[in-house]
Amino acid sequence: MPSLPPILPRDVARAERMTHAGEHGFDAPVVDPHGAALFEYALRLGDDALILGQRLSGWTGRCPTVEVDLSLANFALDLVGQATHFLGYAGKVERRGRDADRLAYHRDVLDYRNCLLVEQPNGDFARTMARQLLFSTYQKMLFDRLLVSADDFIASVSAKAVKEVAYHEELAAEWVIRLGDGTEESRQRMADGLAWNWRFIPELFDRDDVDEAMAGAGTGTDPTAFRDAYDARIGAVLTEATLARPADQRPILGGRRGHHSEHLGHILSEMQFLPRAYPDAKW
């Protein structure tokens, strides 16, 4: 077996020079910075929707009543539809021939860019609705701002999705109010559900260089700009639900960089089973 050619000192020196000059290594691929940020941004939008859609579909057939079963299945379908658009777009921007299915079914945990809130376990119905209120309120405010995105595709998907998530937010708020202002047991369950999910809110507003690049280009939006409006909206729902605002906890961050909780691997193993076991399957 032939051995690999040795790494010559001059190659090392060249790589060192380039690194110190603030450039990428000599073997780094050439990337277009705007395209790279847009790919990340589209992945985040798509992965948030995909993972929450998959999570919610776990309720199908198990809801307290058939009507609630349909409500949550409808939410899941709306979200998976949004994911299809955003992941399809990410694949197009990336220009490596990956379509939405390829990105959904053939990436592992470290390559997922969803926020940690959406991968949290469903828990009981109260915890699921608490998570839904916290996420849909954020998503509604995000899409409201992406309606005027300089990127026509993001603007048009947002225009369709904003109506879907407005409904998710309304129904989730109705349930948070009814369970909070309900029986002693429902109240306790809703308080517990909110407390469980509360530590994942700061990540939604944790602006990083991708957010800044996208906001600067007019493609995306700065999430910190609607943090106050978000707190006010959640506060109003909690007041109507006669619930106290949960105590702030140490935030958990990292989903946008691929640092996920143990739960995402389990979600993916179920979601990706079929296309991985039967690569040629069509549906």
Partner 1 sequence: MTDWPLWEVFVRSKGGLSHRHVGSVHAPDGAIAVRHARDTYTRRMEGVSLWVVPSGAIHASDPADDGPMFAPAEDKVYRHPTFYDIPDGITHI
Give the interface with partner 1 as residue ranges (CB under 8 A): 64-68, 70-71, 74, 170-171, 174, 178
- CB neighbour list of residue 72: distance below 8 Å, 6 or more residues apart: 56, 59, 60, 63, 128
CB of 197 to partner 1, least distance (A): 22
Tell me whether residue 181 or residue 222 sits nearer to partner 1 (CB atom): 181
Which residue, 4 or 66, has its beta carbon nearer to partner 1?
Answer: 66
Query: What is the rounded distance in angstroms from the CA atom of residue 71 to the CA atom of residue 87?
Result: 24
What single-letter DSSP state applies at residue 129? H
Write the DSSP symbol of residue 257: G
Q: State in angstroms the smallest separation of the CB of 237 from partner 1.
A: 14
**In terms of CB distance, is 72 or 117 closer to partner 1?**
72
Question: What is the nearest approach in angstroms of partner 1 to the Cβ of residue 245?
Answer: 24
| For partner 1, the closer CB: 69 or 94 | 69
Question: CB of residue 61 vs partner 1: minimum separation in angstroms?
Answer: 15
Instruction: For the CB of residue 186, give the shortest distance to partner 1 in the complex, in Å.
Output: 10
Alpha-carbon separation of residue 38 from 51, 78, 80, 104, 115 (angstroms): 20, 23, 20, 17, 17
Q: In this structure, are residues 237 and 173 in contact, taking their beta carbons and an 8 Å threshold?
A: yes
Task: Specify the residue, 70 or 274, whose C-beta has the smaller distance to partner 1.
Answer: 70
Tell me if residue 258 falls in helix, strand or coil. Answer: coil
Q: How far is the CB of 69 from partner 1 (least distance, A)?
A: 9
Nearer to partner 1, 21 or 66 (CB): 66
- Where are the alpha helices (H) located in the chain, listed in sequence order? 9-20, 33-57, 66-94, 100-105, 125-146, 152-180, 184-198, 201-204, 209-216, 227-240, 262-271, 273-277
How far apart are alpha carbons 229 and 249 in whole angstroms? Answer: 20
Q: What is the DSSP letter of 244?
A: P
